[in-house]
């Protein structure tokens, strides 16, 4: 049987694409190849709490699925049904319009072949699907209110919001501020990986209907490793299921896995574009702990109370990276008399740049890619951290700050970005503005693989919007 489309993976990119595709194309046949299995939240919670009769660690299986020689930098994802919606922390700010225009505005890297205004309606649609909680006013333009009201500020957040307005807002998030559509209200337990109250959006709790559509055949434990290709198209997809090698055919092949596996499939399929796999990475994340004098930080109603944009935009991005501030609601208590909760913690998220020395490649095992991070962090990002240290005391001058302490860069932000960047031609990119492969015109490479540049902002909402846009415009 030849399908209309074959989709690889069931994470955000695939599922948002499929949702729109099925709405627009009833009656089309779809095969979905998911490498993992359905690992329900309740089962993962049992394991997390030590109640299950298994020694399996939650979300640890991914470590064996790719090669990483750089132990100081690790990359985290969930290889089961729903992909990283299982383990994400549900931060959903939009990109700023400037993030799509880094070359034009700052002379950095290259512009995306798509801009904010084109994506705006798809951002809105993705926000509706995820029932995002967020404030009325944001630093990026929006045409209507978020589906759910914003989360609560803690006292220092209120002061910062009063001073900075839309530059310091309650974080737009898929952690529900009200019970909605089977999800409960977030209680700020700061245990988002497996949400104990099922408050964050996941594919499992909100979009199972996509896979229950009778047009969809979903195969679990189906591990895709290559496509058969001609000069201009793919003709077959190859996968293994229960140690049996299988193949299938379709008019279109939609790669919706994470960058490691999308790139592995492309390279195993004969993709010779020298940019394929090159320039993957993620934001540089550094925690700042801010001791406050006689001011409690208790009272926020979710994991990240707020986003600060005071270090995000400006001409300085010609020289160093923009930074998104996440005000974390983590258990950094102060073990000092009377000061237990008088502390804020900022996660500073610095944009990084795609670098040639950071790339994804194949290995001797056709199923297992290798992540090479030889170039490490760019000076563009590292300089931004040094500049942030100079600026932060002034930015926080409206608060009774006793001291600011910086932790070492976090080893992982949970964002794997790039490797099949989007652009205008094969000379500068791997896919076009619809995420169609420049050479194989019936192959789409969805998700953060396609990002031209990284942005300081969390990537998930944008990749969902891109999937909706592609499904809407191409099919």
Partner 1 sequence: MLCLCTLLTSFFKMKRRKLLKILGSVAGGAILVPSGLYLATPGIKYFAEKIIYRHLGYLKLDPGGVSQYVEDYFKGMPDSFANTIRWKSYYYLNLKTKDSINIYQLIRCYLLSSDFFQYKMDTKRTIKYAGLYDPYKSPVANPFSYIYLPDKRNI
| Interacting residue ranges for partner 1, rule: CB under 8 A | 45, 48-49, 76, 87-89, 152, 154, 177-178, 185, 187-194, 196, 287, 289, 297-301, 328-333, 335-337, 340-341, 347, 405-414
Half-sphere exposure in the Cβ direction for 103 (13 Å, CA): 10
Do 252 and 7 touch, CB atoms closer than 8 A? no
- Both tokens of 200, joined, read 């964050």
CB of 359 vs partner 1, minimal distance in Å: 24
Q: Which is nearer to partner 1, 14 or 301 (CB)?
A: 301
Phi first, then psi: give them for residue 464, nearest 5 degrees: -65, -45
Shortest gap between Cβ of 417 and partner 1 (angstroms)? 15
| Backbone dihedral region for residue 455 (phi beyond 0: left; psi -120 to 50: alpha; all else: beta) | left
Q: In what order do the strands lie in the sheet with 370-373?
A: 67-68, 370-373, 358-361
The least CB distance from residue 71 to partner 1, in Å, is 13
Rounded to the nearest whole angstrom, what is the least distance from the CB of residue 145 to partner 1 in the complex?
A: 17
The CB-side HSE value for 288 (13 A sphere, CA atoms) comes to 26
Shortest Å distance, C-beta 148 to partner 1: 11
Q: How far is the CB of 473 from partner 1 (least distance, A)?
A: 32
Nearer to partner 1, 112 or 260 (CB): 260
Residue closer to partner 1, measured from CB, 285 or 423:
285
Residue that the structure tokens 């789409």 belong to = 444
Number of Cβ within a 10 Å radius of residue 138: 18
Give backbone dihedrals phi and psi of 344, rounded to 5 degrees, phi first. Answer: -110, 155
Q: Which residue, 399 or 445, is less far from partner 1 as judged by CB? A: 399
Beta strands 244-255 and 234-241, pairing class = antiparallel
Name residues whose C-beta falls within 8 Å of residue 142's C-beta, 6 or more positions apart in sequence.
Answer: 94, 120, 123, 124
Of residues 48 and 163, the one with the C-beta less far from partner 1: 48
Nearer to partner 1, 90 or 210 (CB): 90
CB of 299 to partner 1, least distance (A): 5
Residue number with CB closer to partner 1 (340 or 441): 340
Cα radius of gyration (the chain): 22
SS3 assignment, position 5 = strand
* Minimum distance from residue 9 beta carbon to partner 1 (Å): 19
Identify the residue whose tokens are 């679990």. 220
CB 178 within 8 A of CB 152: no
Length of the chain: 475
- Provide the 8-state DSSP code for 451: -
Indicate the residue among 55 and 331 with the shorter CB distance to partner 1. Answer: 331
- Identify which of residues 14 and 328 has a Cβ nearer to partner 1 in the complex: 328
Least distance from partner 1 to the Cβ atom of residue 282, Å: 12
Distance from C-alpha of 167 to C-alpha of 179, rounded to nearest angstrom: 28
Phi, psi (deg, nearest 5) at residue 263: -70, -40
CA-based end-to-end distance of the chain: 21
Per residue, what are the HEC states of 9-29? CCCHHHHHHHHHHHHHCCCCC
The least CB distance from residue 340 to partner 1, in Å, is: 6
Nearer to partner 1, 38 or 197 (CB): 197
């Amino acid at each position: 049987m030849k399908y209309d489309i074959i989709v690889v993976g069931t994470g955000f990119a695939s599922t948002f694409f499929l949702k729109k595709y099925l709405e627009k194309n009833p009656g089309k046949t779809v095969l979905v190849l998911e490498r993992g299995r359905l690992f329900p939240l309740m089962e993962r919670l049992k394991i997390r709490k030590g109640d299950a009769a298994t020694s399996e660690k939650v979300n640890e299986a991914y470590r064996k699925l790719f090669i990483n020689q750089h132990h100081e930098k690790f990359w985290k994802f969930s290889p089961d049904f729903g992909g990283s919606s299982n383990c994400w922390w549900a931060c959903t700010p939009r990109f700023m319009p400037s993030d799509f225009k880094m070359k034009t505005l700052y002379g950095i890297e290259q512009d995306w072949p798509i801009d904010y205004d084109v994506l705006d309606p798809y951002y809105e649609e993705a926000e509706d699907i995820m029932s995002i909680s967020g404030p009325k006013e944001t630093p990026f333009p929006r045409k209507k209110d978020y589906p759910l009201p914003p989360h609560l500020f803690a006292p220092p957040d209120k002061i910062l919001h009063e001073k900075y307005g839309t530059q310091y807002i309650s974080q737009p998030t898929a952690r529900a501020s009200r019970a909605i559509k089977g999800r409960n209200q977030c209680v700020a337990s700061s245990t988002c990986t497996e949400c104990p109250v099922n408050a964050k959006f996941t594919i499992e709790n909100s979009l199972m209907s996509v896979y229950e559509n009778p047009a969809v055949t979903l195969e679990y434990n189906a591990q895709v490793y290559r496509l058969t290709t001609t000069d201009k198209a793919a003709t077959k997809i190859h996968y293994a299921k229960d140690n049996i090698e299988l193949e299938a055919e379709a008019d279109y092949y939609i790669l919706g896995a994470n960058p490691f596996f999308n790139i592995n499939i492309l390279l195993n399929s004969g993709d010779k574009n020298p940019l394929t796999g090159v320039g993957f990475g993620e934001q540089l994340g550094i925690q700042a702990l801010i001791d406050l004098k006689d001011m409690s930080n208790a009272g926020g109603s979710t994991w990240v109370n707020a986003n600060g944009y005071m270090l995000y935009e400006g001409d300085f991005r010609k020289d160093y990276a923009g930074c998104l501030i996440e005000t974390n609601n983590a258990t950094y208590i102060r073990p000092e008399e009377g000061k237990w909760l008088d502390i804020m913690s900022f996660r500073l998220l610095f944009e990084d740049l795609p670098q040639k020395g950071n790339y994804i490649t194949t290995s001797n095992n056709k199923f297992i890619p290798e992540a090479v991070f030889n170039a490490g962090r760019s000076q563009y990002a590292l300089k931004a951290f040094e500049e942030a240290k100079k600026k932060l005391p002034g930015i926080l001058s409206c608060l009774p700050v006793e001291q600011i302490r910086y932790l070492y860069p976090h080893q992982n932000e949970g964002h794997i970005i790039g490797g099949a960047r989007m652009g205008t031609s094969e000379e500068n990119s791997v896919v076009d503005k619809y995420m169609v492969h420049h050479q194989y015109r019936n192959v789409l490479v969805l998700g953060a693989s396609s990002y031209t540049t990284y942005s300081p902002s969390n990537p998930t909402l944008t990749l969902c919007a891109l999937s909706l846009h592609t499904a809407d415009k191409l099919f």
